[in-house]
Structure formats: C-alpha cells, structure tokens
Amino acid sequence: MTDPDTFTTYQTSSGHRGLDLAEPLIFELDSPGRCGVDLPDAPDVPNRLGGLERVAAIGLPGLSEPQVVRHFVRLSRNNFAIDAGLYPLGSCTMKHNPRLNEKMARLPGFADIHPMQPVETVQGALELIDILADWLLTLTGMPTIAMSPAAGAHGELCGLMTIRAALEAQGDAREVVLVPTSAHGTNPATAAICGYRIEQIPADDRGRVDLAALKEKLGPHVAAIMLTNPNTCGLFENQIVEIAEAVHEAGAFFYCDGANFNAIVGKVRPGDLGIDCMHLNLHKTFSTPHGGGGPGSGPVVLAEALAPYAPLPMVVRDADGLDLVEHRAGGAESSFGRLKGFHGQMGMFVRALSFILSHGADGLRQASEDAVLNANYIMAQLQDLFSLPFPGPCMHEVLFDDSFLKDSGVSTLDFAKAMIDEGFHPMTMYFPLVVSGAMLIEPTESESKISLDQFITSMRHLGERAIRGDADFFAGAPYLAPYRRLDETQAARKPVLRWREATKAAEAAE
Ligand SMILES: *Cc1c(COP(=O)(O)O)cnc(C)c1O
C-alpha cells in the first residue's frame, strides 16, 4: 500500500515521456510534415473532381507505425480490462472472452462478407444466425426471436415497440408501464421513449417485487411490466409465476429484462415462467466482449401473441435454402418495421455461437452453476464484515449495502477507489437504488478459487481498515492508478450545469 505522499510523476532527464502515464493526444505527438509511409509521387492524372478537390491539409497527425502502436498500447495500459484482472462489476457480467470465439469471428467467410451481398452468397452466415436463434429459443423455451437488436437497451426498445404494436392492433391504448424500484435505469428510460408513463413497484423486505403492491397497480391502463429476473439484488423472483398470472389477468404483457440470464441458463426456461418477451445480452451471458462502448447484441425472444409484430428482418428456412423475411412478398405485414441496419451484430453472433457450441448444453448449465457458486462463496466469506441487506443464498451476484461503513467517514465511492489500488475493478456502486450505498459484486464463472481468495483477502483488508476509521486514506485513493481522482466537486461540474442551463434556455426560447 502506497502512502499518498510517495506517489510522484517521474520526469526523464531528456524531457520525453518517462513513466508518467498521462499520455498526450495523438495530435500532440505529431511533428509537422511527417508521414508514416513512403509513397511515390502522385501520377499526373486528369483531375475529375470538378472543383471538389482538397485545397488545404486536413490535419491528420503524421506518425510512424511504431509511434502509433506505442501510443495506443500506452493508452491501453491506463485502462482496466477483464484481461488485466478480476472485474466484479455487478449486473454487467464481465467474464473472460475465450480466444476461440475471436478466432471464429475472424474466419474470412464470416468477417469479409457484406450485408448487401445477394442472399444466395451468404447462406452460411444466415445458417449461423438460424442455428444461434435455435439455441436461444431452446434455452429460453420461447417460440420466436428477433435477432437484430444491438444491445440490451436496444432489445428493451424492440420488446416495448412490439408490445405497443400488438396492443395498437387490438385497438387497446394503454399508457402505463410498471417498473420495480430495483430496475436497471434502461427499463424506465425505454418505457419513456416509447411514450409510456412509468409507475414504480416497491420491493418487499426480501428484496423482491412486492406482489400485493403490484396487484394494486395493475389495471386496464397497464400495457406491461418490466421485471428483471434474477433481479439486480442478485435474487431470484420466486413469485414470478404469480406475477405473470396477475399481469396476464389484467390484459398486460410481461417483459422480462434478461440481462442476468447467465445465472439460470440450463436451469430454468423463462418461457415456462409466463414471460411474453425478454432480451438476451449476448455480450454478457455468452461472453462476447463488451465495455468501452460495444458492440453488443441483444436478441429478443417473443411469445406467440407478439411474434407477428416483431421487427424485420427474420431469417427463414424454406425449400430453396435460407432467406430473409423482408425479401418475401406478404411475409411481414404486421411487423413494426426495422430496428437496425442489416441483420444484427454478425460478429457477436459468431462469438456467441462459438461460446455455446464449445460449452455444449451441459457446459452452459455448469457455467451458470459456477457463476452462482462463486458469488455465494464471496458472500459467505464477507458477510460477517460487510452488511448484507437481504439474506442469501444469492444468485450470480451478491449485494452489500453501506451500513457497515456507518460512522467511518468512508463512502461506497471511497471504498471502490481503494479497490483500484488492490488491483481490482470496483464493483457496481450505488445500484440498485433499493439499498443505501449499494455494492453489487459479480465474480462470474471465469474466476478461479485462487483469484476469488485474493479478492476476498483484499476486500476484508479494506473493510477492516474502513471500520477501524482511516477515512483520510480512503479519501485519497487510488494512489497507484495512472489517474487519481477526477474532480467530482460542484465546481468541476459547472461547465455541464452551464451547458444544461443554456440548453433549457434555448428550448424555452423556441
Ligand atoms: C446491462 C443491463 C441492461 C442494458 O444492457 P446494454 O447491453 O448495456 O444496453 C439492462 N438491464 C440490466 C439488468 C443490465 O444489467
């Protein structure tokens, strides 16, 4: 553990970047007139650009290949990644991305095709989408799937647009979507984007949906409920069948947020629980790489009643081979339309199917069991020191709150910063909102017992230090990270606030 005062930035004698990790912008590394490649003089060809030719430099940095490589490698070392260490970011399922999947995604037959190619020339790709769809339907126990959504939140949008189209087709204009208080922020955001009013359902003291409160809220104005299972407290909603029955009785649809499907693959089929619609985060459950902005993939499984309204395109198999529904006359009159260019995230499909086939059905079940076992191991090893708001056992993630830090002067944020020095990515903080100062830890199945024990040792060490009362130490952490703390004070936020005020003023003036 480093003392704050010993952390210094090293300056080299020649003035070039030494070991200080503040990497300059690539434009600052540029020297005027340099070019990374040696090109022959341009041949004298007649200019056919008709006055559109460039007349001034476009300002791209000129760097040699080694300069570019070093710049990006140095930048990458400023970041934490699943390839660098345990990344227990609850609900995000930062599991190892097997390199086999990368190899498969780079096969030229998948990587080099173009979505505008004639369908006869991409039969292999369509077959891969079809096989993956079939696995996802089998694992979820649902009849139909829309493959094109590009992420979980996009899948939610797909699901609610499908539900809205189905209700409109019945002439049933319902205006409310019910969302539990523990929901991921994307749930209410999606419902709002679709024009619904959001009503919250409280959690009960077991961290699950309060069934009585839900029943009270249900009525002819409710279009859907959006429920996450296992929920974001890491708990299985064990009244889910009763919830589904109550929702259907009220004529509403049951949307399930399937971001936590990795906890139950091969154990429970959501289709057997009465859900109508659920997105799958291939980038979480089936380990396609994520973080840093994507790409993800969020296929949506749908019940029979919603299937006609699903977005296009759909891969279909007939006597002539595989085709896309949008190509076939009369194939899709009631679909709500397109959600995304082309057919979805092909590279993610290849990786997800590679993960599925290399595990097999038994391996997928084992992965879920190991993910749940690992989370329960952490819970068992920490629950005497940390505060557990809801009694276990948990599913694939364990939720602590900040009551063990009471009177210590250490906040969940401070604690998370100190974890960085211990070599771990912080857990998910302050989410879900149902507890104070949430710490949501998801180890995933890819961690070994040795790495879990290292994590537990660090967490206990920090927990004991916090309880002992060492608030100054925590307030200064992290000490070893390339960047210390961002300025999170009100003063630092002023430009954002000014921008918001200016936007509001502009809107008011319109
Ligand atoms: C990750 C997550 C989402 C959103 O998925 P993205 O792929 O990030 O858009 C929604 N709900 C829950 C519970 C999640 O964990």
The residues spanned by each domain of the chain are 99-356, 361-476
What pLDDT is stored for residue 497 in this prediction?
64
Compute the average pLDDT of residues 316-337.
77
Residue 442 CA to residue 360 CA, distance in Å, equals 23
Query: Tell me: the pLDDT tens digits for 103-116?
Result: 999 999 999 999 89
| CATH, domain range 99-356 | 3.40.640.10
Place of tokens 């009694």: 391
Tell whether the model's pLDDT for residue 90 goes beyond 90: yes
Q: pTM for this structure?
A: 0.88
Compute the average pLDDT of residues 321-336.
74
Compute the average pLDDT of residues 451-479.
96
What pLDDT is stored for residue 4 in this prediction?
39
Torsion of CA 152, 227, 428, 356, to 10 degrees: -50
Query: Tell me: the pLDDT tens digits for 27-79?
Result: 888 776 777 888 888 888 888 898 898 888 788 888 888 889 999 998 888 88
Tell whether the model's pLDDT for residue 471 goes beyond 90: yes
Compute the average pLDDT of residues 113-122.
92
Kindly state which CATH superfamily the domain 361-476 is placed in.
Aspartate Aminotransferase, domain 1 (3.90.1150.10)
What pLDDT is stored for residue 444 in this prediction?
97
Q: Secondary structure of 158-195 in the HEC alphabet?
A: HHHHHHHHHHHHCCCCCCEEEEECCCCCHHHHHHHHCC
Identity of the amino acid at 260? N
What pLDDT is stored for residue 44 in this prediction?
87
Q: What confidence tier does 92 reach under pLDDT thresholds 50, 70, 90? A: very high
What pLDDT is stored for residue 5 in this prediction?
40
CB count, 10 Å around CB of 444?
25
Residue nearest to ligand 1 atom 6, measured at CA: 152
Residue nearest to ligand 1 atom 7, measured at CA: 152
pLDDT-above-90 percentage for the chain:
70
Compute the average pLDDT of residues 234-240.
96
Strand-pair category, 222-228 with 176-180: parallel
Pocket test for ligand 1, best of 156, 157, 184 (most atoms within 8 A of CB): 184
Tell whether the model's pLDDT for residue 494 goes beyond 70: no
What pLDDT is stored for residue 7 in this prediction?
38
Residue nearest to ligand 1 atom 5, measured at CA: 152
Under a CB-based contact definition with an 8 Å cutoff, are residues 209 and 237 in contact? Answer: yes
Ligand 1 centroid from CA 434, angstroms = 17
Identity of the amino acid at 250? A
Cβ 234 under 6 angstroms from ligand 1:
no
Cβ 184 under 6 angstroms from ligand 1:
yes
Query: Tell me: the pLDDT tens digits for 156-200?
Result: 999 999 999 999 999 998 999 999 999 999 999 999 999 999 999
Tell whether the model's pLDDT for residue 367 goes beyond 90: yes
Q: What confidence tier does 86 reach under pLDDT thresholds 50, 70, 90? A: very high
Q: Which residue has the higher pLDDT, 241 or 3?
A: 241
∠ Cα 202 208 209 (to 5°)? 45
Query: Tell me: the pLDDT tens digits for 130-163?
Result: 999 999 999 999 999 999 999 999 999 999 999 9
Strand-pair category, 197-201 with 176-180: parallel
Helix (H, G, I), strand (E, B) or coil at 58: coil
Mean pLDDT of the chain: 90
∠ Cα 421 290 463 (to 5°)? 30
Query: Tell me: the pLDDT tens digits for 454-467?
Result: 999 999 999 999 99
Joined together, the tokens standing for residue 465 give 């230090």
Ligand 1 centroid from CA 193, angstroms = 16
What pLDDT is stored for residue 64 in this prediction?
87
Residue 75 CA to residue 21 CA, distance in Å, equals 8
Tell whether the model's pLDDT for residue 306 goes beyond 90: yes
Candidate from 196-205, 319-328, 460-469 with smallest mean pLDDT? 319-328
pLDDT-above-70 percentage for the chain:
91
Under a CB-based contact definition with an 8 Å cutoff, are residues 350 and 359 in contact? Answer: no
What pLDDT is stored for residue 8 in this prediction?
43
The alpha carbon of 187 is separated from its chain's Cα centroid by a whole number of angstroms, namely: 13
What pLDDT is stored for residue 13 in this prediction?
61
Tell whether the model's pLDDT for residue 15 goes beyond 50: yes
Q: Which of 272, 39, 321 is nearest to 143 (CA)?
A: 272
Q: What confidence tier does 6 reach under pLDDT thresholds 50, 70, 90? A: very low
Tell whether the model's pLDDT for residue 493 goes beyond 80: no
Joined together, the tokens standing for residue 188 give 């209410």
What pLDDT is stored for residue 14 in this prediction?
58
Cβ 158 under 6 angstroms from ligand 1:
no
Tell whether the model's pLDDT for residue 2 goes beyond 60: no
Helix (H, G, I), strand (E, B) or coil at 260: coil
What pLDDT is stored for residue 195 in this prediction?
96
Pocket test for ligand 1, best of 160, 193, 232, 257 (most atoms within 8 A of CB): 257
Q: Which of 482, 398, 498, 408 is nearest to 443 (CA)?
A: 398
Ligand 1 centroid from CA 498, angstroms = 30
Q: Which residue has the higher pLDDT, 27 or 267?
A: 267
Compute the average pLDDT of residues 200-214.
95
Tell whether the model's pLDDT for residue 487 goes beyond 90: no
Ligand 1 centroid from CA 93, angstroms = 10
Q: Which of 246, 254, 255 is nearest to 215 (CA)?
A: 246
CA–CA distances in Å: residue 480 to residues 71, 415, 420, 467: 21, 15, 8, 22
Joined together, the tokens standing for residue 410 give 């250490």
Residue 55 CA to residue 14 CA, distance in Å, equals 38
List beta partners, residue 338: 312
Helix (H, G, I), strand (E, B) or coil at 378: helix
Cβ 259 under 6 angstroms from ligand 1:
yes
CB count, 10 Å around CB of 501?
10
Tell whether the model's pLDDT for residue 400 goes beyond 60: yes
Residue 360 CA to residue 337 CA, distance in Å, equals 34
Q: At 382, give phi and psi (nearest 5°).
A: -115, -10
